[in-house]
Amino acid sequence: MAERKKVILKDIAEQLGVSVVTVSNALAGRRGVSLEMRQKIIRLAGKMGYESAYDLSGGGRTIRIGIFTPHKESLEATPVILALGKQELRRNRMNEKLVFLPIPRRGRRLDSFSEDQFDGYIVFGAESQELLNSICEKASVPVLSFGRINEADRTDSVVMDCFHGMFQVVSRLIDMGHRRICLFGATNQYGLDQEMGYRKAFDAAGLPPEEDMIFRNFYIGKNGYQNKQEDCMRLEALIREQMSREVKPTAIACGSDGIAEEALRILREMNIRVPEDVSVTGFFKADEEDTGIASMTWPIRNMAKAGMYILRRRMEGEKDAFGVISIQGKWYPGGSVARPDDDFPMNPTIIHIFGE
């Protein structure tokens, strides 16, 4: 890498026409910066090669962590990681220097990166197995994968538990009296885990799942970000088909808040009321947003806490890999769910497992 002038907060602030305080707050994960601006700032900081220079504890060792951030989710996660990482490290008498290392969009592999200057890496939501592998192969210091399980070996990874997450969502819907619950799961393993959770919920209630209402692999992000057009079209066609059936679903469980938003839009177009006519749930709800959609939260803070703990332990020389650490989210109540209209006889054998 060519030598260049050290980037300071002011440089970032000037380029975006915001105050230095705003930039500082955005990068430190403090509240009071809009999500959009935060993302802009983090993205630019990454591009400009900004190195965080927080040095709060005095004494202790300074740890250099390289953070690979390929896409949007990671940008949302970064400030939280920064904030919680500091806490975890500071409690253990460490300072950190965090350096953002952007991964090219849709990058399949990373062939080279300078690594002698880092003590550890965090890889956020690696888009492909290949990319994660290439980083793990090259790095001689600990690597933590955030959001993606490395199938190839026992790379330390922190992921959300989508299996129990969807189990909880669907169990709640069943508890409310829903029986015909349509599933639109997310992509890849997330969607598969969600399907398994859906099935577990039906099995646990002693009910047969609706085999012709189970779908997955929808790549639909929030606010229309990174939507795959064909997935939106497939979702629309399926919702129209399901809602015109003689025996319609009374609830739609979505694999992401993005899918849920899109479903709400389609239902609105069809003049179907939510939750009066059909209940809708989301998944991966972001921390600070009030979407009004009942959902399963993305446990980003707890994931960050666990992740930084693991990385610290590994940087301190823990030999034994932690493998996959999966963290459960929590139910977020929202106005998009209600008891179904048609009264099913309640199954007396169902134990009420979720109290408020």
Partner 1 sequence: MDKVRLKDIAERAGVSIVTVSNALSGKKGVSSALRKKLIQIADEMGFDFEKYKNRSVPGKSISVVMPAEFVKEGTSYYWELYQKAAMEISKNEGFTILELVRYEEEKRFRIPRGILEKEYDAVLLIGGFGTRYMKQLLTSIKAPVVLLDCISHDVRTDAVLSDNYNGMYRMTKYLMDAGHREIGFIGSRSSNNAVDDRYFGYRKAHALEDIRIRKEWFLEDRDADTGERRIRLPHKLPTAFVCASDYSALILAGELTARGLRIPEDISVVGYDDLMDENPFLGTLTTYHVDTDRMSKEAVRMLMGKILHESEEPEVRQIDGRIIERSSVKNLRR
Q: Which residues bind partner 1 (CB under 8 A)?
A: 55-59, 90-93, 149, 154, 161, 163-164, 168, 192-193, 195-197, 199-200, 203-204, 299, 301-302, 305-306, 320, 322-328, 330, 351, 353-355
CB of 302 to partner 1, least distance (A): 4
How many beta carbons lie within 10 A of that of residue 356, not counting itself? 4
CB of 192 to partner 1, least distance (A): 6
Q: How many CA atoms lie within 13 A of 84 on its CB side?
A: 18
CB of 354 to partner 1, least distance (A): 5
Structure tokens at 224: 């229309």
Which C-beta is closer to partner 1: that of 1 or that of 346? 346
Which C-beta is closer to partner 1: that of 244 or that of 349? 349
CB of 277 to partner 1, least distance (A): 29
Could you give the CA distance from residue 33 to residue 25 in angstroms, rounded to a whole number? Answer: 7
CB of 331 to partner 1, least distance (A): 9
Could you give the CA distance from residue 193 to residue 79 in angstroms, rounded to a whole number? Answer: 27
Which C-beta is closer to partner 1: that of 192 or that of 272? 192
Which C-beta is closer to partner 1: that of 272 or that of 325? 325
Angle of CA points 58, 59, 63, to nearest 5°: 95
Strands 331-332, 295-296: pairing kind: antiparallel
The DSSP secondary structure of 55-86, one letter per residue, reads: --S-SSEEEEEEEEE-SHHHHHHHHHHHHHHH
- CB contact at 8 A, 258 and 227: yes
Which C-beta is closer to partner 1: that of 67 or that of 304? 304
Which C-beta is closer to partner 1: that of 226 or that of 328? 328
CB of 301 to partner 1, least distance (A): 6
Q: How far apart are the first and last CA of the chain?
A: 55
Which C-beta is closer to partner 1: that of 76 or that of 161? 161
Distances (CA, A) of 31 to 21, 27, 349: 12, 10, 46
Provide the H-helix boundaries in the chain: 9-16, 20-28, 35-48, 72-91, 129-138, 162-175, 188-204, 229-243, 257-269, 300-315
CB of 150 to partner 1, least distance (A): 12
Could you give the CA distance from residue 63 to residue 19 in angstroms, rounded to a whole number? Answer: 28
CB of 115 to partner 1, least distance (A): 26
Which C-beta is closer to partner 1: that of 41 or that of 337? 337
- CB contact at 8 A, 74 and 110: no
